[in-house]
Amino acid sequence: MKNSKLLFIISIISIVACAQKHKSIVIAEDPTTIDYTTEVVVPKLDIPWGFVFLPDGALLITEKAGKLIHFKDGVKTNIDGLPEVYLRGQGGLMDIELHPNYIENGWLYLTHSSADGEGEGGNTALIRAQLSGSKLTSVERLYKAEQNTKRGQHFGSRIEFDADGYLYFSIGDRGNRDVNPQNLTRDCGKIYRINADGSIPNDNPFLEFPDAKTAIYSYGHRNPQGMVRHPDTGQIWVHEHGPRGGDEINRIKKGGNFGWPLISYGINYSGTSFTKDTNLPGMEQPLFYWVPSIAPSGMAFITSDMYPDWKNNLLVGSLKFEYIERLVIKNNTVIKREKLLEGMGRVRNVRQGPDGYIYTAIESVGIVKIIPNNNK
Amino acid sequence: MKLFSFIILLIAINLTLICNYSNNSSYETTQNKVLKESIKRGNAVYSDFCINCHLPNGEGVQNIYPPLANSDYLRANRRKSIKGLKYGLKGEITVNGLQYNKYMPPMGLSANEISDVMNYTNHSWGNKYGKIVTTEEVTKITR
């Protein structure tokens, strides 16, 4: 009896120990010197989810609650003509991106949660539209994930174009991890690739797969809310929220299975384990994983010469720890992590502007510009 | 055989007594049952919409996300809490002597869901805050 009690205690301890055995290989450091200042360029925003720079220097900013804001010369204007936004949990009006050829065709792309379609609840939709004065015109829906649900989680929603003009966007698992991410006939838990007009590219990976959602480009994702094109390789990089631990940086591969929820470096919020595997044949490994989770949102490579010490580094916003993480990556390995702008608020997005400066969207603060000190 | 019938009779009498007893306190029991079921549904709402910031045991994160467990704010501000769930909560608040100034956006919950999650937080982790929050009460609260 005594022995079996001991055995029980030992097994509980080992389960807990197992659950915590994966830690990030590199730890986030405080900076040794702070060689920059910050300037709030657009004040008073609640949850600025996405933003883009228009050719005339204006900014278009999405507020999660369902507002599209045009900002120029200190003036905010609400843009009308948005489709109806299903405001629920993490859902709302989300990312915005310009067509690579925006100057000529005027197309802008937006993601939002929508209650349209079958079933109670909502799911992620992608639209394109043109801006005419303070109104969206020619609004076209390009994609709407099926199987609406009232769950509040994991709408994904980042948008990015590659060098060939293909449009990629993410949809998270919508809080249904055991059903959606590994099933190619269902939406959610996927990275999608479409043409800029919404049609399906004729070399998408699952065109021949019976009943597959043919826009799927890769699967087995949890909730990717950062997406960026690598400036040198052109490959699409994403990061995604893990559960408790196990946020990941992934390089998207055509037809790749990124393993969620069969492999993960994370555990359930409650502390229990849901898989013993971190690696299985046929599944992609992340370039990097975060344990503990930082709750990553927004992602940008620094390509400008504005920040000599940071050139080619990757920036990732942290909602949870309220800083921007600067990751130094050598030979596809993260070798350094540093905290920038710590304590300003929940970082929702980060981008490099056309002027080469880094801009970040911070909840309850606004759009903030990082200005390097030039006095060295 | 006689003994068997006698036992059956005794059980029947007992059952009748128990039923009568339950009837006498049925109002209270029904109320408890309604609250219990609301708390159970509220738990599901909490796990979906609140747990990320306020954490599984309602402890929150010091100076960032206010605690709900043993929270003087939640105990004393029933109306403001419901309003916050309905329309969002902005501006500085003091919880257990600490300042919090984050924006909690509205989660798009129905009045039913708000009453359920209020009942869950009011009656979990050792909290015993007030009487049951009803859907009608939530519906009546406006901006």
Which CATH number does the domain housing residue A334 bear?
2.120.10.30
- A88 has a chain B CB within 8 A of its CB: yes
Give the span between the Cα atoms of A182 and A167, in whole angstroms. Answer: 22
CB-CB under 8 Å, B49 with A152: yes
Residue B65 has pLDDT above 80, yes or no: yes
Q: B12 falls in which pLDDT band (50, 70, 90)?
A: low
Which residue, A156, A95, A155, A154, is CA-closest to A128?
Answer: A95
Structure tokens at B58: 């309602």
Between A87, A175, A269, which is nearest B56 by CB? Answer: A269
**B18-45 residue pLDDT tens:** 544 545 567 778 889 999 999 999 999 9
- A363 has a chain B CB within 8 A of its CB: yes
Residue A18 has pLDDT above 70, yes or no: no
Rounded to an integer, the average pLDDT of A42-48 is 97
Give the span between the Cα atoms of B45 and A129, in whole angstroms. Answer: 35
**Residue B42 amino acid letter:** G
* Domain boundaries, position B117: 35-140
Does residue B7 lie in a domain region?
A: no
Give chain A's domain count.
1
Which residue, A207, A211, A181, A209, is CA-closest to A194?
Answer: A207
Phi, psi of A10 (to 5 degrees): -60, -45
Does residue B22 lie in a domain region?
A: no
Which residue, A228, A202, A174, is CA-closest to A350?
Answer: A228
pLDDT of residue A301: 98
Q: Can you tell me whether residue B78 is helix, strand or coil? A: helix
Structure tokens at A66: 């369902």
- B87 has a chain A CB within 8 A of its CB: no
Give the span between the Cα atoms of A187 and A217, in whole angstroms. Answer: 12
Between A87, A89, A270, which is nearest B49 by CB? Answer: A89
Least CA distance to A46: which residue of chain B? B103
Q: B9 falls in which pLDDT band (50, 70, 90)?
A: low
Give the span between the Cα atoms of A198 and B99, in whole angstroms. Answer: 48
Strand partners, A249: A239, A288
Nearest Cα of chain B lies from the Cα of A184 at a distance, in angstroms, of 25
Q: Can you tell me whether residue A2 is helix, strand or coil? A: helix
Q: What is the mean pLDDT of chain A?
A: 94
pLDDT of residue A17: 43
Nearest Cα of chain B lies from the Cα of A211 at a distance, in angstroms, of 30
Give the span between the Cα atoms of A328 and A308, in whole angstroms. Answer: 13
Show which of residues 102-121 on chain B sit within 8 Å of chain A, judged by CB atoms. 102-103, 105-108
What's the CATH number where B82 sits?
1.10.760.10
Question: Which helix (H) or strand (E) segment is A301 a member of?
Answer: strand A296-301
Nearest Cα of chain A lies from the Cα of B51 at a distance, in angstroms, of 9
Q: Which residues of B touch A152 (CB under 8 A)?
A: 48-49, 107-108
Q: Which residues of A touch B107 (CB under 8 A)?
A: 88-89, 152
Residue A284 has pLDDT above 50, yes or no: yes
Give the span between the Cα atoms of A83 and A137, in whole angstroms. Answer: 11
CB-CB under 8 Å, B102 with A89: no
Strand partners, A257: A219
* CA contacts within 13 A on the Cβ side of A53: 17
Which residue, A279, A224, A271, A231, is CA-closest to A250?
Answer: A224
Which residue, B60, B57, B86, B56, is CA-closest to B73?
Answer: B60
Place of tokens 């109320």: B31
CB-CB under 8 Å, A346 with B107: no
Identify from B47, B52, B54, B90 which residue to disrupt to test chain A contact, counting A C-beta atoms within 10 A and taking the largest count: B52
Q: Which residues of B touch A346 (CB under 8 A)?
A: 102
Give the span between the Cα atoms of A350 and A360, in whole angstroms. Answer: 4
SS (H, E, C) A155-183: CCCCEEECCCCCEEEEECCCCCCCCCCCC
Which residue, A227, A209, A175, A169, is CA-closest to A193?
Answer: A169
Question: Where is pLDDT greater, at A58 or B52?
Answer: A58
Give chain B's domain count.
1
Residue B136 has pLDDT above 90, yes or no: yes
Q: Which residues of A touch B101 (CB under 8 A)?
A: 364
Percent of chain A predicted with pLDDT > 90: 92
Question: Where is pLDDT greater, at A11 or B33?
Answer: B33
Q: Catalytic: A241? A: no
Does residue B45 lie in a domain region?
A: yes
Give the span between the Cα atoms of A119 and A124, in whole angstroms. Answer: 14
- B125 has a chain A CB within 8 A of its CB: no
* CA contacts within 13 A on the Cβ side of B21: 6
Q: What is the DSSP letter of A280?
A: -
CB-CB under 8 Å, B48 with A152: yes
Predicted TM-score (pTM) of the model is 0.89
**A153-162 residue pLDDT tens:** 999 999 999 9
Q: How far is CA A103 from CA A60, A71, A98, A234, in A?
A: 15, 18, 9, 22
Which residue, A174, A217, A168, A160, is CA-closest to A86?
Answer: A174
Give the span between the Cα atoms of B64 and B54, in whole angstroms. Answer: 10
Q: A374 falls in which pLDDT band (50, 70, 90)?
A: confident
Structure tokens at A39: 């300037």
Does residue B87 lie in a domain region?
A: yes
Least CA distance to A176: which residue of chain B? B48
Residue A12 has pLDDT above 90, yes or no: no
Q: A14 falls in which pLDDT band (50, 70, 90)?
A: very low
Question: Which helix (H) or strand (E) segment is B23 a member of?
Answer: helix B2-24
Structure tokens at A281: 């044949």
Question: Pick the catalytic residue: A99, A112, A154, A221?
Answer: A154
Q: How far is CA A31 from CA A38, A100, A349, A362, B115, in A?
A: 15, 35, 21, 20, 46
Q: Which residues of A touch B103 (CB under 8 A)?
A: 46-47, 363-364
Q: To 5 degrees, how large is the angle CA A319–CA A323–CA A328?
A: 110
CB pairs under 8 A between A and B: 37
Show which of residues 141-180 on chain A sit within 8 Å of chain B, judged by CB atoms. 151-153, 175
Give the span between the Cα atoms of A205 and A169, in whole angstroms. Answer: 15
Q: Can you tell me whether residue A97 is helix, strand or coil? A: strand
Nearest Cα of chain A lies from the Cα of B45 at a distance, in angstroms, of 9
Rounded to an integer, the average pLDDT of B81-94 is 96
* Domain boundaries, position A208: 2-372
Q: B1 falls in which pLDDT band (50, 70, 90)?
A: low
**A186-229 residue pLDDT tens:** 999 999 999 999 999 999 999 999 999 999 999 999 999 999 99
Q: Is the peptide bond before A292 cis (omega within 30 degrees of 0)?
A: yes
CB-CB under 8 Å, A46 with B102: no
Question: Where is pLDDT greater, at B52 or B15?
Answer: B52
Note the ipTM here: 0.79
